[in-house]
A and B are shown apart, each in its own frame.
Chain A
């Protein structure tokens, strides 16, 4: 009886859960920009129950979508932590999608709520947002990797597509084991930078299928460049759980 009551009480308790991100520095690389959108964050507890993360209101989070900014050197602020509410349980896995959901990806950015009102993260109504923007300086050159949907059809660049883009390029990421109270998400952006620098290609900002280096970079995120979806298990090498 008392155990049952305690369990019920625990069930109803809400805890504030922070999901922290970091990006280890790379020698010889000056990071200019590292921002990305995530959406539909879920945590899975030790009994396999899936809980939808409810974000705390902030300029960086709107309902399903949040913006992470790990390049504090290029901006006045960074955002390395997402804060939200969940039932107070032991969580063992984290899931989120990298990108902006289609329903929010092609709307007028002027009327979009923050953090979806960033002009420098928006291509056009047709293509939507840059899901991930990575800019860096290395070997005395400026480099860029920008990820977003491709193959979007509409009347013009300023009209939204009515159907999903041919290559959505949204990836569902699962980190397991992941305990938000002890661990954080490490963003291994060097895995994106290496294939691009190896090919000595300056940028990869669309037309991903046109270059072997871009194809390699997309595979780091687990994406098949032809389908814009992940092959099988979505084996991505950009995000990992870390205790450090």
Chain B
């Protein structure tokens, strides 16, 4: 056989070898460009899961696909609904088998900037890792994929559209339809859920004085004040201490007791003590992270267990420096919790001031984000096609 006859085969081998060697999925794929507004930092993306247009398209379909749950009833999007800034209106979520979760579905707004994931875990630091919890978690069961992996992969494999999307997203991999690539693609999709187009952003970062009403400016001044102390924990461009990005130095381990529940001497089984469950440190009991306040108007109910129905109620809660619970297993005075953050010391607002603060919080709503077609459910479009 002549050298020239062998060349095409060699070329193919070389290309596959190159792809394997470089270990990246950007070979033959299209890198995603962030197009962030000027000045906003670029989120950190793990080296083994670069953002590509193809993975995002695949991840979008997977995010909204109920076939990812064992019994075909639930997708990521069931509890993370776009119109509600990727939350739901339930206090706490209900899994695919009907099991009640003990926590409220968190917003995915700007989740790419999160340094840690879930309401209270210091060790879950990547989206790829986090996504395995709703997929495979069994306490409680969410999507219930554990033990049904082969079934689920068969469903995906049997769908011609998926075969196309996987081939485009992971072009030179064998056995490319697997849970590692599923988690990576979903992570790519939710990373692009970026929200920086609220009236607040236009006022703060783009100098549009008219973007906020006078009431909203007064409310913003109160929010930022030492009197209310809100901005101690809800600070920075993402209104969260947990923002990390390419040029940030380091990440603080900032979880807080808000006074939502009283301190207990001994931990009781079945009670959510927040960070304590991850670290087993007594001082971490009842600590939760301060989530972003972006789109907070859309994400009711509030707190880690959805136990406060409205933003008005949340303001009352912080004004009182916590709350006292009269009955039930967690009765007692949360205000007196010894681990409570020193910034939750209570405040008094006039009715006008309270309305101002609420109006300011509404100025964090990004209408474009909640309706962004790139983040929408692709199955609705597929169905509506003739």
List chain A positions with a Cβ less than 8 A from chain B: 33, 59-60, 67, 69, 74-77, 108-111, 114-115, 117-120, 122-124, 126, 137, 140-144, 155-158, 202-203, 205-207
Contacts and interface: CB of A to CB of B under 8 A. Distances in A.
Given A117-B248, A122-B235, A158-B203, 20 more contacts: A74-B252, A77-B249, A77-B250, A110-B40, A110-B41, A110-B205, A114-B247, A115-B249, A119-B238, A120-B241, A120-B254, A122-B236, A124-B224, A141-B342, A144-B342, A155-B209, A157-B221, A157-B223, A158-B224, A202-B342
A117 B247 contact: yes
Interface centre among A59, A117, A157 (most CB of B within 10 A): A157
Nearest to A71: B252
A202 B241 contact: no
Nearest to B212: A156
A137 B257 CA distance: 13
A225 to B, nearest CB: 15
Contacts of B231: 123-124
B180 interface: no
B251 interface: yes
29 contacts: A60-B249, A67-B249, A75-B251, A76-B251, A77-B249, A108-B205, A110-B41, A117-B247, A118-B248, A119-B235, A119-B236, A119-B241, A119-B243, A120-B252, A122-B236, A123-B224, A123-B231, A141-B338, A141-B342, A142-B339, A144-B342, A155-B209, A156-B217, A156-B220, A156-B221, A158-B203, A203-B345, A205-B226, A207-B226
A74 B122 CA distance: 12
Contacts of B39: 108, 110-111
- Residue among B39, B229, B235 with max Cβ neighbours from chain A (10 Å): B235
B225 interface: yes
Interface in B40-90: 40-41
Interface of B: 38-41, 203-205, 209, 217, 220-221, 223-226, 229, 231-232, 235-238, 241, 243, 247-254, 283, 338-343, 345
Contacts of A120: 235-236, 241, 252, 254
Contacts of B224: 123-124, 126, 157-158
B249 A143 contact: no
A158 B341 contact: no
Contacts of B249: 59-60, 67, 77, 114-115, 118
B343 A76 contact: no
Contact of B204 (A76, A143, A144, A158): A158
Contacts of A117: 41, 247-248
A203 B342 contact: yes
Given A122-B236, A156-B221, A74 B253 contact: yes
